[in-house]
Structure 1
Amino acid sequence: MARPVVLVGCGRLGSAIAEGWLASGAVAAADLIILNPSVKPVMDAARAAGARINPPVDSLKDARAIVLAVKPAKWREASAPLVGVLADDAVIVSVMAAVRGGALSSVFGDRIIGRVMPTTGVARAQGLATVWADSAAGREAAHALFIPVAETVDLAEEGLMDVATAVVGAGPAYFYAFTQALAQAGQAAGLDPEAAQQLARATLKSAAGGLPDEMSLSDAVARVASPGGVTQAGLAVLADNGLTATVTDAIRAATDRSIELSRDVPA
């Protein structure tokens, strides 16, 4: 049996991470420990597959990695019982927004620290995760846990995690909001509500599936928008109404809010 991975917190994101690990085999059920005050559905499934759920704290002494997925305001409370039993070489990986590496080190000492900002798509091994670590070893540990379930992007500076939170963490909501607006516009133009919703949702899925990794975003737009055509007419209206500026303002506001929240989190 390999040294276990401990998932601390099993809310929406923690549950998605556990689901992705189990489905992909990134962490074998027998090597997984989940700590959470209340039992979530994924915890029952993990237990049935061989994971340990809320075992005695001394069971953590051989853990190779601790993944902190609790609410930022509760992280010190959740971490306190762990510190005294963890091995010195246990890697601490946080998926919490707003909790800085320095704060983590103040609790976990000289242990290797990594921060990851994943999307809930990790549950289906279709996530996106930004990674920052204070060392190559921390980055490698984060990669081992998240590359099987997400496309990972390394960040050179921890401060960029706030921007990544605005883009990656909040970005899906922006796409959904645009899709909702697309459906509402279709309905206003005469489609019935059900058809408008169905077409807008299918368009989002189709657009995501039709973007090869090697294709630039500008080329992807040009491939759909023929000069003088229907799509180009709509894009011109979006540009005239400040689409890029509006999105830039949204990212700036979300980044600023992430920074503000970090000041409110127990240091």
Structure 2
Amino acid sequence: MIEISRENPLLFFGCGNMGRAMLDGWIAGGIDPAAFVVVDPAAQSLPANVAHFSGAAELGRKVSTALTAVKPQIFAQIAGHLESVLTDDALVLSVMAGVRVETLQAKLPGRAVVRLMPNLAAALGKSPLGLFEASDDASLQADVEKLLYPLGIAVWISDETLMDAVTALAGSGPAFVYRFIDALAKAGEAIGLDPSVAATLAKAMIDGAVDLAIGSDASPDELAQRVTSPGGTTAAGLAVLDSGLQRLLNDTLKAARDRGVELSKPD
């Protein structure tokens, strides 16, 4: 069982936007802020009672659970600092896109390693959590799911090469959704709406549509059909949107996935 507490804290090795979203999600889920330690020279305005150090050498102790959330491009250069503060049997969760388990195990020998791809909705407890670990250890997976429960929904991936696809869809996906919301609002402006009205309508519409999709047994395609009357306004709009949307999204996710593959290759 993975238990984190003031005496046995979870170490954030790097705490940028993604790390901070996870930290906020755990604290919102009821975990004591004192159960977390952050090592990140750039971290600012952390929650009260979260211990903060600029470097691993300042920590003065070893930890048995760590989350590494540094930029994947620099991990190889600073992995030794993380390794120096891990117990021999530590669990390491990695949210670094493209960094393979094999690489992590080579830099952090003997430790259990789980790759994790969340998104910023972890702060609200609503993130998809793509997960992979090489040993297929059911007990470890159950413990990790319990630890991550306050952050969202865990989905285990059986083939590590698919983590790049998970990253493209679940990790990068929110940015694509935000772009779509922004584009909808600007399209509303283009047909005469005040910018603030268009933005409010776009965000409220997305919020309601997503809630309905999550709560419905019908597929998104079926729900779209329910909104669409033959020869009506929705049908006219879909005739334009459907002419290139799927191709555009295929290309978008492929580009994000391929970048993850590139990040996994040694320099």
TM bin, normalised by shorter chain, reads 0.7 to 0.9
Give the secondary structure class of the aligned counterpart of 1:211.
helix
Aligned equivalent of 2:51 = 52
Aligned equivalent of 1:231 = 234
CA contact (8 A) 1:114 1:138 kept: no
CA contact (8 A) 1:22 1:46 kept: no
Aligned equivalent of 2:39 = 35
CA contact (8 A) 1:93 1:142 kept: no
Distance 1:91-1:110 versus aligned 2 partners, 3 A rule: same
Give the secondary structure class of the aligned counterpart of 2:37.
strand
1:218 CA displacement? 2.1
Q: Is 1:219–2:222 an aligned residue pair? A: yes
1:131 CA displacement? 0.9
* Whole-angstrom CA distance in 1 between matches of 2:181 and 2:86: 46
Q: Is 1:12–2:17 an aligned residue pair? A: yes
1:1-267 alignment to 2 at 5 Å?
A: 1=5, 3-25=8-30, 27-42=31-46, 45-47=47-49, 51-54=50-53, 56-60=58-62, 63-135=63-135, 136=137, 137-213=139-215, 214-239=217-242, 241-263=243-265
Distance 1:145-1:172 versus aligned 2 partners, 3 A rule: same
1:91 CA displacement? 0.6
Q: Residue type matched to 1:32 in 2?
A: F
Q: Residue type matched to 2:98 in 1?
A: A
* Whole-angstrom CA distance in 1 between matches of 2:48 and 2:64: 19
Q: Residue type matched to 1:221 in 2?
A: A
1:161 CA displacement? 0.8
Report the TM-score when normalising by structure 2: 0.87
| Residues 168-201 of structure 1 deviation map (CA, whole Å, 9 limit, x = unaligned) | 1221122122222212222221212222222112
Give the secondary structure class of the aligned counterpart of 2:153.
strand
Give the secondary structure class of the aligned counterpart of 1:33.
strand
Q: Give the RMSD, CA atoms, in angstroms.
A: 2.1
* Whole-angstrom CA distance in 2 between matches of 1:46 and 1:216: 43
Q: Residue type matched to 2:39 in 1?
A: L
Q: Residue type matched to 1:255 in 2?
A: R
CA contact (8 A) 2:119 2:172 kept: no
CA contact (8 A) 1:57 1:82 kept: no
CA contact (8 A) 1:95 1:118 kept: yes
Q: Residue type matched to 2:171 in 1?
A: G
* Whole-angstrom CA distance in 1 between matches of 2:42 and 2:184: 39
1:138 CA displacement? 4.5
CA contact (8 A) 1:57 1:81 kept: no
1:211 CA displacement? 1.7
Give the secondary structure class of the aligned counterpart of 1:93.
strand
* Whole-angstrom CA distance in 2 between matches of 1:196 and 1:52: 43
1:102 CA displacement? 0.5
Which structure 2 segments of 5+ residues have no match? none
